[in-house]
Chains A and B, each alone.
Chain A
Amino acid sequence: MSQESKIDRLKDRGAMFAKARAFFAQRNVLEVDCPVLSGAAPVDAHIDIIETRCNRYLHSSVEYAMKRLLAQGIGDIYQLSHVFREGEFGRLHNPEFTMVEWYRRNFTYTGLIEETIDFIYLFLGPIPSRCLSYKEALDTYAKDAVPPPEGAEWTPDTFTAYRMAFVVQPHLGKDELTVITHFPPAQAALGRMTTVGGELVAERFEIFYKGIELANGSHELCNPVEQRARLHLANAQRQADNKSALPLDENFLSALQLGLPDCCGVAVGFDRLMLLRHNAESLADILPFAWKEA
C-alpha cells in the first residue's frame, strides 16, 4: 500500500463522493434517499438482514424502495447509501458498507454495462475491459475443477458457486475489467430471463477487477407474479439452510403490479472501488472506522 495516511485516504473518499454525484448530475439521474429502516426486508437466499428492536429491518440494498419510486414515475434515480448485511465480515466485506445503486429507464442491458464501466473509470482511470458469459467463464477457467473433499455432499448449485468463487474469480480482471454476463436461472436474482443460443439465462451482469466483485446489475424483472415466486423460492432456500424466512415486502410487490417501467439497474460497491483506488489490502484501510473499531 502507498505511504499516504488514513486521513489522506478519507479526504480522497470525500472527494469521490462529490465526483460520483457529479457523474449522475451530468446524466440527469436524480439523487434519492430512501429509508435505511423498513418494515420488510429484501429477501435473498444468501444475504442475512440485521433486524432492529422496533420491528424494522436495516436494508441490505435500496432496490425495493427505489423500484417503488420508479413505478410511481420518478424517472432515472440513484442512491448513495450505507447498506447492512449481517455476518459479512472479512478483508473485502464489512457488515455496514457503502453502495451506489442506480436505475435507468429504456436503457439496454449493454447500455447499462457501458455506463457502469464509465462510473468505475471515475475511480480507477481507463482500463481495458472484456465481456465473458457465465458459461464461458466456467468453461475457460474451471472445466476440470473437482469439488474439494469436504464438498462431497454439496448440491450442484453449491459446487457451481464454489467453482465461480474459488477457481474462476481469481482469474477475473487481472489486467482488464471483466464483465460476466448471462447468469444461470438459479442465480437470476432480480434479472429478467432471456434465451441465448437456445439456453435460458438471466440478463444479469457482474463486473470484476483484480478478482474483486465490484458491480451487480440486471435488466430488471417487472413481472409481479414471477417476482413473488422468486421471493418464495429464496425463502424456501433460506429455510432449507436453517435460516428464518423473511416477510415479503407487499409494498414492493404492489408497485410491480402498478407497473415498473422497463429499466436496467446496477449496484456498485463504493468501498471496494476505494480499496482498489488506493491499492489497499483491506476495507479497514479505507473506511473511517471498520466493523471492529466502529
Chain B
Amino acid sequence: MAQISTNEFRSGVKVEIEGEPYNIVSNEFVKPGKGQPFNRVKLRHLKTGRVIERTFKSGEKLNEADVNETKMRMLYKEADGVIFMDDQTYDQITIPNSLIADKDQWLMEEVLYDVVFYKGEPIEVVPPTFMEMVITETAPGLRGDTSGRVLKPAMTNSGAKIQVPIFCNEGDKIKVDTRTGDYVSRI
C-alpha cells in the first residue's frame, strides 16, 4: 500500500491509523530552530466523524487509506436503506439509513451522488454542492421585499427544511448549498 510522509499531509488526504481510516483536517509544522521537527496533525475518522490529534516526527509515514469515490445515481428508498446505481457498471448497492443519517434531506431520485468507499465498503454519501429543488411548503410569498434579507421557513421536494426569502412561493424552483443548507437563488 502506498505510504505518504508528514510533509504531504494536506487537508483532505486520507490515511490509515491502527487500521482505521481518517481524513486529515490540519497539519501544523512545529520545529525548534536547531531541533527535531514535528508535525501536529488533526484527523477526522471517516466513519464516526470523531476528531483526534496526533504528533509525528517530520518525515514519518502513514499508509494511505484505500478510499475511492464513485458517482452513483439514487434510484429509490426502501425501509432500511437507499438504493444507488453505478451508471457505468449498472451495479446496484443498498446504503443503510444509519450511514445516510442527516444526508437524507438531500436525497432525490435520479440525482448523481459521490459515494465514498473504504476497502470496498460504502462509508459516506456526498450530495452535489449545489442542488436544484422545488419548494413544496411555505407561507404565501410577500411582494415588496426583494432584498432577500428577510427569511421564512420552507420545505423542499427533497424533504429539506430550509430558510428562503419571503418573496418565494410554493412551486418555485430554487438552488440550495448542501454544505450549509443555505438558499442560494431562485431559478
Contacts and interface: CB of A to CB of B under 8 A. Distances in A.
A187 B33 CA distance: 11
Contacts of B31: 46, 88, 90, 93, 165
A46 B35 CA distance: 6
Contact of B54 (A44, A90, A150, A187): A150
B55 A89 contact: no
Contacts of A165: 30-32, 35-36, 38
Given A87-B7, A91-B28, A148-B54, A187 B59 contact: no
10 contacts: A46-B31, A87-B7, A87-B58, A88-B31, A150-B54, A151-B55, A154-B57, A166-B38, A166-B55, A187-B34
A280 interface: no
A47 B34 contact: yes
A32 B32 CA distance: 27
Given A88-B29, A88-B37, A165-B31, 15 more contacts: A47-B34, A87-B7, A88-B31, A91-B28, A164-B35, A165-B30, A165-B35, A166-B30, A166-B40, A166-B55, A169-B32, A206-B33, A213-B32, A213-B33, A267-B33
Nearest to A99: B33
A200 B105 CA distance: 67
Contacts of B35: 46, 161, 164-165, 187
Given A90-B28, A91-B28, A165-B30, A158 B54 contact: no
A216 B35 CA distance: 11
Nearest to B41: A150
Q: How large is the interface on A (under 10, 10 to 19, 20 to 34, 35 or more residues)?
A: 20 to 34
B56 interface: yes
Among B37, B38, B58, chain A packs the most CB atoms within 10 A around the CB of: B37
A241 interface: yes
Nearest to A242: B59
Contacts of A161: 32, 35-36, 38
A151 B40 CA distance: 12
A139 B58 CA distance: 26
A205 B56 CA distance: 26
4 tightest A-B CB contacts, nearest first: A90-B29, A161-B36, A161-B35, A216-B33
